[in-house]
Amino acid sequence: MMSVLEKGRIGIGALSVGILQDALEHSVEYAKARRQFGQPIASFQAVQWMIADMAKDTHAARLMVDAAAARLDHGESAAVESSMAKCFASDAAVMHTQNAVQIHGGMGYIRGVAVERLYRDAKITQIYEGTNQIQRMIIARHVLA
């Protein structure tokens, strides 16, 4: 049973990475195109920092998911690694899709705009295959053992 959960959690982590990557790409494209005060919003430090954090957390989430999947591929247990990957990636997806909506301003909140859909899709990744609160219990048990 645990093997099925490990695979499912890695899958949700990978889904979260895909959501993160898409949010990052949409945000970069929009920030370069949208102009305010005579310049692209990509030139504003606040937007740059949101995009930088989005990029770094996308990279970190991808590495965590890859590491958990590699353990399974080698026939090793990945219970803790899959919980960490799923929890980190899904929390990052929610936080950074929220930032993507912020970068898009009022447009980001309109139904049918890509980042609005990504924001809604990100939330469920914190719930599927065991809530992130459960993932934190699994991680804490391992660390405290």
Catalytic residue IDs: 129
52 exposed, middle or buried (CB, 10 Å; 0-12, 13-18, 19+)? exposed
Under DSSP, the state recorded for 111 is T
Cα separation of 130 and 87, whole Å? 10
> What is residue 36's three-state secondary structure?
strand
Query: Which residue do the tokens 């990504």 mark?
Result: 118
Asked whether the beta carbons of 61 and 24 are under 8 A apart, the reply is: no
Query: Which residue do the tokens 């958990």 mark?
Result: 68
